[in-house]
Structure 1
Amino acid sequence: MSNLRYPIGIQSFSEIREGGYIYIDKTEYIYRLIAEGKYYFLSRPRRFGKSLLLSTIEEYFKGNREFFNGLAISKHDHTWDKYPVLHLDLSGCTIDSHDRLPSFIEDFLLRWENEYDIPTNHDIPYSLRFKEIIIQAHQQTGNQVVILVDEYDKPTLETVGNPTLQEKCRNILRSFYSNLKSQDRHIKFAMLTGVTRFGQLSIFSDLNNLNDISLNKKYSGICGITAEELHKYFDKGIEDFAASLNTTKEEIYNLLKENYDGYRFSPTDTTEIYNPFSVLKSISDESFDNYWFKTGTPSFLVRLIKFNKFPLQELTDYETTTSQLTDVSLELTDIVPVLYQSGYLTIKSHDTRLNTVTLDFPNKEVESGFLNQLMPLYTPIPSQKTEFEIIRFVKEIEKGDVESFMVRLQSLFSDFQYDSFDLKHLEQHYQDVVFILAKLLGFYTRIEYQTSSGRIDLVITTDNYIYLFEFKIDKSAEEAINQITRNHYPIPFKADGRRIIGIGANFSSHTRSLDSWIIKDL
């Protein structure tokens, strides 16, 4: 067994280097940042290494050369001068009252004022105190100041739904960040990171010198783990992982890719990125689980999807413009860029001619985790029983017990609360439930499968069966099954060799459930 140390949850570069933990060398990116520019913004999902990136930059500018021995940046010529670093970490700021953000910023200002022997004046705004700190730090050290802001958007995200408190936080932060432009001659380097890019926060219009590298292909791998890095740094750990499960390294690599790979952070770069937190946990635990998803379930986002009646089928193969990915409104009215920037959707393809992208779930962990969160909002199944109920559906469909599958599906709809149904959007609600269920089954599923003679509502394939579903609302099961045969839906699957079963079913708006179905071998 190897004695590899995995830096799970460790965001301090110095602690990783001093403690002998695995460090994925991202310092070539840092060298490029410093060599090519001065002001940057980077958006990445939570737990993707943003804090570690800023910690690494901080140690570089503090001149702590010993931490960088053997890393890519050490191959370049440097003076390793020591610069004053002002590092504002907003990740620990919980906005539960009007005085929380002011109190949090006050702590940082007092710390910096003490460091540079600056008298504290509570009668002037935070922005002016910050300005004086920047000026004094430069004058006292003789070197320009480095400013790092981690999770700049946390106060804004936490106050969605409270416009008064959100406006107060915006005003504080806007004036605070304005120093990044007004004090340019005192600043050596500045970088802001966060999950979302709030266009209306005015940071990006006021600070027109801020370079957003979130979609820049040169920096697509600055956070997270590439396939090359996975093999370079974790091959021995994966070998041990395989031995513990009595399988091959290739199988473990395939499962890691299926569960945790798939993120793309540039339309023009096809490099896929692994989720670093889940990979570290998986290899360390020698197991597979929804590690990243469990650390912060998107309950607010899934409620927003249901409230806005966003068609769930559009979560897969969603086409949009690249410009839509970059700005999020303060009210979060457009859910798609929020889902992308938060890591629940990612880029799957790019049309260079139209400059559009197609979005989808990045991997199995995100897809199953997200849909499991949606299930209790669209069905009567409580969240703690979702996986158990899905297993029942899986067993029935695997062994060809279609009748039991349909009875269970009927029961699922029959148990809905009357208030769960918005009769004006009944068909969409029904389609959403079928979509969630089909995706969670884990088989190959296609919603609205296109053939030369029409679209099949749902196709599910297992090792032994191909199921073709046609659903009607307030019509009849006979009409549904007849559409399958009349439109020759089985023809594309005839050469496959598996048993083809057609299911025609009718959904009644009166009973708010499936009222009839016909099962037929095709």
Structure 2
Amino acid sequence: MKKLPIGISSLQSIREDNCYYVDKTHFVKKLVDNGKYYFLSRPRRFGKSLLVDTIKQAFLGNMELFKGLYLENNWDWEKKHPVIHIDFGGGVVQDAQDLKEWIIKQLKRHMITYNVSVEEQNNARFMFTDLIISLKEIYKNPVVVLVDEYDKPILDNIDDTEKAIEIREVLKDFYSVLKASDQYLKLVFLTGVSRFSKVSIFSGLNQLNDITLDSEFATICGYTQSELETVFVDRLEGVDLEKLKYWYNGYSWLGDRVYNPFDVLLFFSKRDFRPYWFETGTPTFLVKLFYKYRYYLPNLENLEADEGILSNLDIDNVKIENILFQSGYLTIKDTYNLGDETYYLLSYPNFEVKTSFNKTFLNYIERYGLSHKPESQIYRSIQENKLENLKDTLYSFFASIPNDWYRKNDLDSYEGFYASVVYALFTGSGLNTRSEDTTNLGKIDLTVLYQDRAYIIEFKVVEKDSEGKALSQIKEKGYYEKYTDSCREINLIGIEFSREKRNIVYFEYEKMI
């Protein structure tokens, strides 16, 4: 493979003059041997573009790029195929007309590359069709079509439903060429972040094989634990493997869990634990949806979803869970069956995503007037075990939210808002939190673990004044018993919020052991 800067490759990364190969090329052989039309969804910066480029270079016959890799001795290098590579990853599509012009420009580049001329040069669908047919006739081998980030033009405008639908129709018309060109094609491979329904985007392309949740291709992008420890063994000296796993591993598509390659490569370069992947794209649009639909943030720790939620993103009816999963903020932790239906348990993939996402939730509030970040104060209160300081920090945070902000969002009628904010404060501070923590007698609203101490927290929302029931419920239910064997000290914390006063009206705590 060609030399690539560190941080963009899931197949090969280069640092200075040293090459690190995570050989995924056997997947290319498997794709070609077992089908013709494929679709793969993975989050951003997971190596989709490099995978597409790998397929491209193999079909172009560039054997020298595969020395030492699986394909070197498992590919017919004598047979070369023309490749049409459409990439929607660069830039932002403004509207449907902008998209049409972009597609035509990319098709014209291919015409120059292959020295091909077509009659119609102002209609993307006609140009695409003629280009495929011409390449097949000239090169005497069927054509490979690769589309990278097929959905990005839609996602760029997902918060404008009308514009997104117009862009979708342009793409639908463009992709319709593939079905009609079957006899001229060798392989079609499309990648993207989202899984829009076949009906809405790939109308008629029934043979498209979606390998997103195919266990045989679960590790086609990303690094497995074994690959990490084998390929990067010299880079791991002095690295806390458990901490590395805690920060960056955990993504699952019904196979072995994988690391985000972008995180791993930048960590090796900088030797510092930071949210590298998260910082490349803040999910502000998702946070807005949380407020719009009054979503209960702690649910993200243990979210149940069916195949319908995970498989199809609908522009006309956007589901938060769907976008969170497909964009990499949630991943599959487990599955179970009820009859013939498969259900999925989703949660954050790792510490990086969990902490950073909750910080983003808090930052969205701060846009409306908050001037301080209380996460460090929360952490310090737990670290020093000073619960009075914790009470003051929480009270101060809610007191600093302007009344006008509540009016605009009508959040005083949203019970889950208060618990969601407290959950985000603890989680965003980097503490080990467990929401809806299951016991044999019920669920703890929030458990916070620090060293050998546990903090059992119960939330209540009252109309006006304190009812004093939050702490007593913890004791009556015996929630703390779950941690009596594993923790040296257990603290019970009851918090009540007043809808009318929009703040804490009750904060009591008690040490059990």
Scaled by the length of structure 1, the TM-score of the pair is 0.89
Greater mean alpha carbon deviation, residues 147-156 or residues 62-71: 62-71
Aligned partner of 2:186 among 178, 185, 188? 188
CA distance in 2, matches of 1:384, 1:277: 32
Counterpart residue number, 2:324: 339
Matching residue within 227, 239, 243 for 1:255:
243
1:138 alignment partner in structure 2: 136
Query: Which residue does the alignment assign to 2:453?
Result: 465
Residue identity opposite 1:476 in structure 2: S
Contact kept, 8 Å, 2:6 with 2:14, in 1: the verdict is: no
Within 5 Å, which residues of 2 pair with 1:81-230?
81-122=79-120, 125-199=123-197, 202-230=200-228
Partner of 1:371: 358
Give 1:490 shift.
4.0
Q: Distance in 1 between matches of 2:381 and 2:77?
A: 68
Q: Equivalents in 1 of 2:15, 2:73: separation in Å? A: 18
Mapped pair 1:517 → 2:502:
no
CA distance 1:127–1:507, shift in 2 (3 Å): same
Are residue 69 (structure 1) and residue 67 (structure 2) matched? yes
TM-fit CA distance, 1:177? 1.3
Q: Deviations over 1:358-383 (max 9, x none)?
A: 00000011111111111123467979
Residue 321 (structure 1) aligned to one of 290, 306, 323: 306
* Residues 114-169 of structure 1: CA deviation (Å, up to 9, x unaligned): 34444454576211111111111111111111111110001111122334433332
Report the CA distance between 1:174 and its aligned residue. 1.6
> Which amino acid is 2:250 matched to?
G
Q: Does 1:295 align with 2:280?
A: yes
Structure 2 gap segments, 5+ residues each: none
Counterpart in the other structure of 1:358: 345
Structure 1: how far apart are the matches of 2:375 and 2:53? 43
Whether contact under 8 Å (1:43, 1:197) holds in the other structure is yes
* 1:429 partnered with 2:414: no
Q: Does structure 2 conserve the Cα–Cα contact (< 8 Å) formed by 1:161 and 1:331? A: no
Shift of 1:402: 0.7
Which amino acid counterpart does residue 75 of structure 1 have in structure 2?
N
Task: For 1:506 and 1:17, locate their aligned partners in 2 and report how far apart those are by CA, in whole Å.
Answer: 53
Q: Is the 8 A contact 1:178 1:207 kept in 2?
A: yes
Query: How far is the alpha carbon of 1:9 from its aligned partner?
Result: 4.5
Contact 1:454 1:487 survives alignment (8 Å): yes
Secondary structure of residue in 1 paired with 2:272: coil
Matching residue of 1:419:
404
Residues of 2 paired with 1:293 and 1:450: CA distance? 29
Query: Using the alignment, how far apart are the partners of 1:458 and 1:56 within structure 2?
Result: 46
CA distance in 1, matches of 2:422, 2:228: 36
Match of 1:476 among 460, 466, 471: 466
Q: Counterpart of 1:22 in 2: which secondary structure?
A: strand
Q: Retained in 1: the 8 A contact 2:304–2:345?
A: yes
Q: Are the counterparts in 1 of residues 43 and 193 from structure 2 also a CA contact under 8 Å?
A: yes
1:178 match: secondary structure: helix
* Displacement of 1:355: 1.3
Aligned residues: 503
AA of the residue aligned to 2:419: Q
Label 1:174 to 1:497 Cα distance change in 2 as closer, same or farther (>3 A). Answer: closer
Whether contact under 8 Å (2:298, 2:423) holds in the other structure is yes
What is aligned with 2:47? 49
* Equivalence for 1:286: 271
Task: Mark the CA change 1:497 to 1:368 in structure 2 (over 3 Å): closer, same or farther.
Answer: closer
8 A Cα contact 1:200 1:330, kept in partner? no
Letter in 2 for 1:290: P
8 Å contact kept, 1:468–1:503? yes
**Within 2, Cα distance between the matches of 1:21 and 1:382?**
49
Give the direction of change, closer, same or farther, for the CA distance of 1:370–1:330 in structure 2 (3 Å limit): same
Cα distance change, pair 444–381 in 1 and its aligned pair in 2 (3 A): farther
C-alpha separation between the residues in 2 aligned to 1:510 and 1:382? 20
Checking the alignment, whether the CA contact within 8 Å between 1:477 and 1:518 is kept in structure 2 is: no
Paired residues of 1:93 and 1:104 also in contact (CA < 8 A): no
Residues 521 and 209 of structure 1: is their aligned pair in 2 closer, same or farther, counting only changes over 3 Å?
closer
- 1:426-474 CA distance string (max 9 Å, x none): 3211111122123224333333444455544333232353333333333
Larger displacement relative to structure 2 (272-281 or 101-110): 101-110
1:273 and 1:14 map into 2 onto residues whose CA distance is 16
1:264 & 1:297 partners in 2: Cα distance? 21
Contact 1:87-1:147 at 8 Å conserved across structures:
yes
**Contact 1:174 / 1:201 at 8 angstroms: preserved in 2?**
no
Distance 1:406 1:485 in 2: 20
Match of 1:28 among 12, 23, 26: 26
Deviation at 1:210, TM superposition (A): 1.1
Distance change >3 Å, CA 493–CA 173, structure 1 → 2:
closer
Tell me the residue number matched to 1:234. 232
Deviation at 1:303, TM superposition (A): 1.2
Q: 8 Å contact 1:46–1:342 — kept in the other structure? A: yes
Distance (whole Å) between structure 2 residues aligned to residue 146 and residue 19 of structure 1: 33
3-state DSSP class of the match of 2:457? strand
User: Is 1:504 matched with 2:494?
Assistant: yes
**Structure 2 residue matching 1:104: 3-state secondary structure:** helix
Residues of 2 paired with 1:347 and 1:433: CA distance? 25
Indicate if the aligned counterparts of 2:299 and 2:435 stay in contact, CA closer than 8 A: no
**1:245 matched to which residue of 2?**
none
Which runs of 5 or more structure 1 residues have no equivalent in the other structure? 243-248
The equivalent residue for 1:440 is: 428
Letter in 2 for 1:362: P
Helix, strand or coil at the partner of 1:88: strand
How far, CA to CA, are the matches of 2:441 and 2:116 in structure 1?
A: 77
Q: Is the 8 A contact 2:313 2:323 kept in 1?
A: yes
Aligned to 1:246: none
1:253-299 deviations in whole A, cap 9, x for unaligned?
A: 21211111000012xx3x00100000000011111110001111111
> Is the Cα contact below 8 Å between 1:224 and 1:276 reproduced in 2?
yes
On the 8 A contact 1:376/1:382 being kept in 2, the answer is no
